[in-house]
Chains A and B, each alone.
Chain A
Amino acid sequence: MTTEYNAVITEFDPIIGLETHIELGTKSKMFCSCSAQFGGEPNTFVCPVCLGMPGSMPVVNRVAVESTIRMGLALNCSIVPWCRFARKNYFYPDMPKNYQISQYDEPLCINGYLDVTVATENGPQVFRVEIERVHMEEDTGKLLHAGGAGRIHGATHSLVDYNRAGIPLIEVVTKPILGTGVLAPEVAKAYVAELRDLMRALGVSDVRMEEGSLRCDVNVSLSRPGEEWGTRTETKNVNSLRSVERAVRTEMIRQADRLRAGERIIQETRHFNEETGDTTSGRSKEQAEDYRYFPEPDLVPIAPSEAWIEELRGTLPEIPSVRRARLQIDWGISDFDMQSLVNAGALELIVASIDAGVQPAAARKWWTGELTRVANERHCELGDLTVNASDIFEIEGLISAGDLTDKMARSVFEGLLDGEGSVSQIVSQRGLVVVNDDASLIAAIATALADSPDIAEKIQGGKIAAAGSIVGAVMKATQGQADAAKVRTLLLEQLGVTE
Chain B
Amino acid sequence: MNDLIRQSAATLAGAIARKEVSSEEVTRAHLERISQVDERVHAFLFVDPEASIARAREVDQQLAKGALSSPLAGVPIALKDLLATKGVPTTCGSRILEGWKPPYNATIVNKLHAAGVVSLGKTNMDEFAMGSSTEHSGYGPTHNPWDLERIPGGSGGGSAAAIASFESPLAIGTDTGGSIRQPAAVTGTVGVKPTYGGVSRYGIVALASSLDQAGPCARDVMDTALLHSVIAGHDPHDSTSINAPVPDFVAAALNADVRGMKIGVIKELQGEGFQSGVLQRFNQSLEILTELGAEIVEVSCPHFEYALGAYYLILPSEASSNLARFDGMRFGIRVDDGDDRSVEEVMSATREKGFGAEVKRRIMLGTYALSSGYYDAYYGQAQRIRTLITRDFVAAFSQVDVLVSPTSPTTAFKIGEKLDDPLAMYLNDIATIPVNLAGNCAMSLPIGLAPEDGLPVGLQIIAPAMADSLLYQVGSALESALIDRWGGLLISEAPSL
Contact = CB atoms under 8 A, between A and B. Distances in A.
Interface of A: 47-48, 51-60, 87, 89, 91, 93, 96-99, 156-158, 160, 290-294, 297-300
A294 B317 contact: yes
Contacts of A300: 239-240
A29 to B, nearest CB: 14
30 contacts: A48-B84, A48-B104, A51-B330, A53-B103, A53-B104, A54-B84, A54-B206, A55-B83, A55-B84, A55-B106, A55-B202, A55-B203, A55-B206, A56-B203, A57-B202, A57-B206, A59-B238, A59-B239, A87-B321, A89-B320, A91-B347, A98-B324, A99-B324, A157-B339, A292-B367, A292-B370, A294-B318, A298-B206, A298-B240, A300-B240
Most buried by A among B106, B240, B325, B372: B325
A254 B97 CA distance: 50
Contact of A156 (B92, B240, B339): B339
A292 B239 contact: no
Interface string B57-97: 00000000000000000000000001110000010100001
Interface in B313-366: 317-318, 320-321, 324-327, 329-331, 339, 343-344, 347
A51 B237 CA distance: 15
Contacts of A292: 320-321, 367, 370-372, 375
Contact of B321 (A54, A57, A294, A299): A294
Contacts of A51: 330
B205 interface: yes
Given A91-B327, A300-B240, A99 B205 contact: no
B229 interface: no
Given A54-B92, A297-B210, A298-B239, A93 B329 contact: yes
A327 to B, nearest CB: 44
A297 B209 contact: yes
Contact of A48 (B103, B201, B206): B103
Contacts of A97: 324-325
A53 B206 contact: no
B36 to A, nearest CB: 32
Nearest to A162: B330
Contact of B236 (A48, A59, A158): A59
B102 interface: yes
B331 A54 contact: yes
A98 B325 contact: yes
Interface in B191-216: 201-206, 208-210
Contacts of B320: 89, 292
A184 to B, nearest CB: 32
B386 to A, nearest CB: 12
A294 B84 contact: no
Nearest to A90: B324
**Interface of B, helix, strand, loop or mixed by DSSP:** loop
Contact of B205 (A55, A58, A98): A55
B379 interface: yes
A57 B206 CA distance: 9
A55 B102 contact: yes
A300 B206 CA distance: 16
Interface string B394-420: 000000000000000000000000000
Contact of A57 (B201, B325, B330): B201
B123 to A, nearest CB: 16
A297 B379 CA distance: 13
A89 B324 CA distance: 8
A47 B203 CA distance: 12
Of all A-B residue pairs in the complex, the 6 with the closest CB atoms, nearest first, are: A98-B324, A292-B370, A297-B209, A297-B210, A54-B205, A55-B84
A57 B238 contact: yes
Nearest to A87: B321
A319 B94 CA distance: 55
B208 to A, nearest CB: 8
A48 B237 CA distance: 11
Nearest to B202: A57
A244 to B, nearest CB: 31
A93 B206 contact: no
A160 B329 CA distance: 10
A290 B371 contact: yes
A291 B320 CA distance: 12
Most buried by B among A56, A158, A293: A56
B84 A53 contact: yes
A56 to B, nearest CB: 7
Given A290-B371, A300-B240, A54 B106 contact: no
A419 to B, nearest CB: 39
Most buried by A among B82, B206, B208: B206
B339 to A, nearest CB: 7
Nearest to B240: A300
B322 to A, nearest CB: 9
Given A53-B104, A89-B320, 4 more contacts: A54-B325, A55-B106, A56-B202, A58-B239
Nearest to B211: A297
Contacts of A298: 206, 209, 239-240
A60 to B, nearest CB: 7
Given A52-B325, A55-B203, A89-B321, A294 B236 contact: no
A294 B202 contact: no
A31 to B, nearest CB: 9
Contacts of B367: 292
A97 B318 CA distance: 13
B367 to A, nearest CB: 7
B370 A98 contact: no
B203 A60 contact: no
Nearest to B128: A54
Contact of A96 (B204, B330, B343, B371): B330
A156 B340 CA distance: 8
Contact of A89 (B82, B238, B239, B370): B370
Contact of A54 (B236, B326, B329): B326
Nearest to A300: B239
Contacts of B238: 57, 59
Contact of A99 (B97, B103, B321, B343): B321
A320 to B, nearest CB: 35
Contact of A91 (B106, B240, B324, B371): B324
A294 B324 contact: no
Contacts of A53: 84, 102-104, 330-331
A160 B370 CA distance: 29
Nearest to B341: A157
A290 B368 CA distance: 10
Given A57-B239, A98-B324, A294 B375 contact: yes
Contacts of B203: 55-56
Most buried by B among A51, A57, A97: A57
B376 to A, nearest CB: 11
A87 B324 CA distance: 12
B43 to A, nearest CB: 22
B462 to A, nearest CB: 22
A57 B237 contact: yes
Given A59-B239, A91-B347, A99-B321, A52 B330 contact: yes
A428 to B, nearest CB: 54
A27 B208 CA distance: 31
Nearest to A292: B370
Contacts of B92: 54
Given A54-B102, A58-B239, A91-B327, A290 B372 contact: yes
